[in-house]
Amino acid sequence: MKMTGADLVVRALTDEGIRFAFGIPGTHNIELYDALAETTAIRTILVTDEQSAGFMADGVWRASGEMACVNLVPGAGLTHALSGIAEAYMDGIPILVLACGIRRGKNQRAFQLHDIDQAAIVTPVTKGVFRPETGAEIYAAIRNACGLARAGTPGPVMVEVGVDLYLSRHEVAPTDLAPPVLLPIPEPGPADFAAALKLLRAPGARPLIYVGAGAATAESALVQLAELLDAPVATTIQGKGVFPESHPLFLWNGFGRAAPAFAQRVARRCTVTLAVGCRFSEVGSGSYGLTPPGPLIHVDINPEVFNRNFPTDLAIMSDGPSFLRALAERCRGDESGREPSNELRETIRAGHDQVRSEWARHRSPDGVTPSVLLDAIQRVLGPETVYTTDSGNGTFLAMEGLRLDHPRQFLAPVDYSCMGYSIPAAIGAKLARPEAPVVALAGDGAFLMTGLELLTAAHEKLPLVVFVLRDRELAQIAQFQTTAMNRKTASVLPDYDLASIVEGVGVRCLHLARDADIAATLREIQTAMRIGTPIVVDTAIDYSSPSFFTQGVVKTNLGRLPWVDRLRLIARALMRRVPGRG
């Protein structure tokens, strides 16, 4: 049979279960967009900037576990989208980048429109690049690319389909439309489990469990394992919610110097660490400011993470959820289970209570207190709410202030830490999970990058909520500058009229000036959500109390400097406090 290149792409996307395609059409891929208009299986979303297309596809996966597609014209479309692609690459998020190639005919090929080497540009931030040479190769290229994207540590892939292939009809055999061969999932053997249990069950052993996003679908097994081992559980930032944070064994999102003192004390008393589905990245570990209690059992589907930042005593290559389920099953059959420690649970409970008390003592006198706002949002909008954040202070304060009991509810740009993530990611999350409330916590600097995607949200009638956290500076950097240098340079934002901007794209803007107004604001938000429209809240956030994360990272980085440099930096900051010397 004969099919156009565009029809083959649509067939492959449909068979992959891809429901959303984000992008901006151009001269090279109008045939694809025309074919997409003929199907109800795939929804095309017009964005205002291709950077946002990547963040939206990212948000779809993080919120739902479904892959999404980014449709790009050659050249500028791809380079605009690179930030979103790189964020997905470094955070382990599978997305399909469907790039379009220029003409490949024999005549008049020089100096074509958008003519750059796209593969060379995108190869460093993708798991693979596929360039079908014939129409018959298109379907398999897309299916195999998607399989690679999901396999192992997930990540983005690119398929470049030349414009000539879209314009032509191609002879396609049934074998050309065969499903892809899936890559095998590594499974641990009996010896791996025996070695892990020997360390975890050793006389006097006090395990610490540390889990990341790679354990996201093993919630019940993880709870069972923690209770059987009587082990406190810490998570990475991306792993927030993988272990229910209302559970008495939940410690913190981290356990090193970027965590509260009680979490550090509990972790120090442990004698063995079981780390699953994490890689001890710089951001997740608070600038490597933690030391896993040894011996370290490290379980991950990617063998390249072992022994990279911390020495591994027992490395087990495995899918994290499969390992946790099997280990919990073996522990259930083991007669040497530990009795629950009331002391451990009481220590953790008292530690969390102390943190809450400390936050309560630092309520803002004339602004909005982050912990008060986050508590109220959770109480009013409910436990199913999905949160997206932006690079910097908003991510760390939300990580510390929110208590989530399920994965796929905290969507944050972590290892690439790209500003402008939260609003587009919230759009992707709301499309993928229309039944869940979605809240974006956007910094006022990040809003300037992708805030116009509110036009997209309004056009698609998506009732999401955007809190623009207005402190009128790049908060995280400004805090670092103030601490280390006692002055701010190029981190104070020019002021702007947020209401005029968002109302100009058809979105209502509320003003939240102080804690006393939070309840009334949330009532108005609930009304807007019932109507089915996005809403923005201009929030006078008070960042005067730094997060545990920020304080810990500053101490860690200062502490690893030689003494002469530490003294120089401290002396400089102190001297600038002297009148006339700043």
Tokens of 525: 């938000």
Please tell me the distance from the alpha carbon of residue 83 to that of residue 86, in angstroms, as a whole number.
5
DSSP state of 451: G
Tens digit of pLDDT for each residue in 372-397? 999 999 999 999 999 999 988 889 99
Collapsing DSSP states into helix, strand and coil, what is residue 149?
Answer: helix
User: 177, 200, 229 — which closes off a domain?
Assistant: 177
In this structure, the answer to whether residues 253 and 375 fall within a common structural domain is no
Asked if residues 66 and 19 have their Cβ atoms less than 8 Å apart, the reply is yes
Asked if residues 214 and 276 have their Cβ atoms less than 8 Å apart, the reply is yes
71 forms bridges with which residues in the sheet?
23, 98
**How many structural domains is the chain composed of?**
3
In this structure, the answer to whether residues 452 and 536 fall within a common structural domain is yes
Tokens of 159: 């398929």
Please tell me the distance from the alpha carbon of residue 569 to that of residue 458, in angstroms, as a whole number.
48
* Predicted local confidence at residue 580, as pLDDT: 56
Q: b/e per residue, 336-357, with b = 16+ CB within 10 A?
A: eebeeeeebeebbeebbeebee
- Confidence band of 71 (pLDDT split at 50, 70, 90): very high
Q: Does residue 340 have a pLDDT over 70? A: yes
Phi, psi of 67 (to 5 degrees): -80, 150
In this structure, the answer to whether residues 38 and 138 fall within a common structural domain is yes
Q: For tokens 């780390």, what's the residue? A: 275
Q: Is residue 185 part of a domain?
A: no
Q: Is residue 261 part of a domain?
A: yes
Q: Does residue 509 have a pLDDT over 60? A: yes
Q: Does residue 165 have a pLDDT over 70? A: yes
- Confidence band of 298 (pLDDT split at 50, 70, 90): very high
Is the backbone of residue 234 left (phi > 0), alpha (psi -120 to 50) or beta?
Answer: beta
Q: For tokens 């779809």, what's the residue? A: 60
Over residues 248-269, mean pLDDT: 97
Q: Is residue 568 part of a domain?
A: no
Over residues 334-343, mean pLDDT: 74
Phi, psi of 158 (to 5 degrees): -120, 135
Q: Domain of residue 34: give its range.
A: 2-177
In this structure, the answer to whether residues 102 and 210 fall within a common structural domain is no
**For residue 48, how many other CB atoms are within 10 A of its CB?**
17
User: How many C-alpha atoms does 360 have within 13 Å on its Cβ side?
Assistant: 7
The residues, any chain, with a CB within 8 Å of residue 186's CB and separated by 6 or more, are: 301, 317, 318, 319
- CATH code of the domain covering residue 16: 3.40.50.970
Tens digit of pLDDT for each residue in 7-53? 999 999 999 999 999 999 998 899 999 999 999 999 999 999 999 99
Please tell me the distance from the alpha carbon of residue 479 to that of residue 163, in angstroms, as a whole number.
49
Q: Does residue 335 have a pLDDT over 90? A: no
Over residues 156-164, mean pLDDT: 95
Over residues 387-412, mean pLDDT: 95
Phi, psi of 292 (to 5 degrees): -60, 125
Q: Does residue 564 have a pLDDT over 90? A: no
Cis peptide before 383 (omega within 30 of 0): no
Q: Does residue 251 have a pLDDT over 70? A: yes
Q: Is residue 558 part of a domain?
A: no
In this structure, the answer to whether residues 275 and 205 fall within a common structural domain is yes
Over residues 497-513, mean pLDDT: 97
In this structure, the answer to whether residues 228 and 316 fall within a common structural domain is yes
In this structure, the answer to whether residues 87 and 201 fall within a common structural domain is no
In this structure, the answer to whether residues 99 and 156 fall within a common structural domain is yes
User: 177, 199, 221 — which closes off a domain?
Assistant: 177
Please tell me the distance from the alpha carbon of residue 320 to that of residue 500, in angstroms, as a whole number.
47
* Predicted local confidence at residue 332, as pLDDT: 86
By mean pLDDT, which of 116-125, 266-275, 573-582 is the weakest?
A: 573-582
Amino acid at the residue 191: A
* Predicted local confidence at residue 337, as pLDDT: 60
**For residue 265, how many other CB atoms are within 10 A of its CB?**
13
Q: Is residue 152 part of a domain?
A: yes
* Predicted local confidence at residue 162, as pLDDT: 92
Radius of gyration of the chain (CA): 25
User: 151, 177, 203 — which closes off a domain?
Assistant: 177
pLDDT above 90 covers what percent of the chain?
Answer: 79
Please tell me the distance from the alpha carbon of residue 95 to that of residue 563, in angstroms, as a whole number.
45
Tens digit of pLDDT for each residue in 443-479? 999 999 999 999 999 999 999 999 999 987 777 777 7
**For residue 309, how many other CB atoms are within 10 A of its CB?**
14
Taking alpha carbons only, the member of 395, 400, 399 closest to residue 418 is 395
Collapsing DSSP states into helix, strand and coil, what is residue 498?
Answer: helix
Asked if residues 496 and 470 have their Cβ atoms less than 8 Å apart, the reply is no
* Predicted local confidence at residue 110, as pLDDT: 64
In this structure, the answer to whether residues 265 and 397 fall within a common structural domain is no
By mean pLDDT, which of 149-158, 168-177, 237-246 is the weakest?
A: 168-177
**For residue 271, how many other CB atoms are within 10 A of its CB?**
16
Q: Is residue 570 part of a domain?
A: no
E strand or H helix at 547, and its extent?
A: none
Mean pLDDT of the chain: 93
* Predicted local confidence at residue 570, as pLDDT: 79
In this structure, the answer to whether residues 60 and 123 fall within a common structural domain is yes
Q: Is residue 124 part of a domain?
A: yes
By mean pLDDT, which of 131-145, 289-303, 478-492 is the weakest?
A: 478-492
Q: Is residue 113 part of a domain?
A: yes
In this structure, the answer to whether residues 316 and 441 fall within a common structural domain is no
Over residues 223-227, mean pLDDT: 96
- CATH code of the domain covering residue 262: 3.40.50.1220
In this structure, the answer to whether residues 367 and 341 fall within a common structural domain is no
**For residue 409, how many other CB atoms are within 10 A of its CB?**
22
Asked if residues 324 and 331 have their Cβ atoms less than 8 Å apart, the reply is no
Q: Is the torsion defined by CA of 191, 192, 197, 198 positive or negative?
A: positive
What is the pTM assigned to this prediction? 0.94
Q: Is the torsion defined by CA of 457, 461, 466, 472 positive or negative?
A: positive
Tens digit of pLDDT for each residue in 78-106? 999 999 999 999 999 999 999 998 777 66
The CA-based diameter of the chain, rounded to the nearest angstrom, is 82
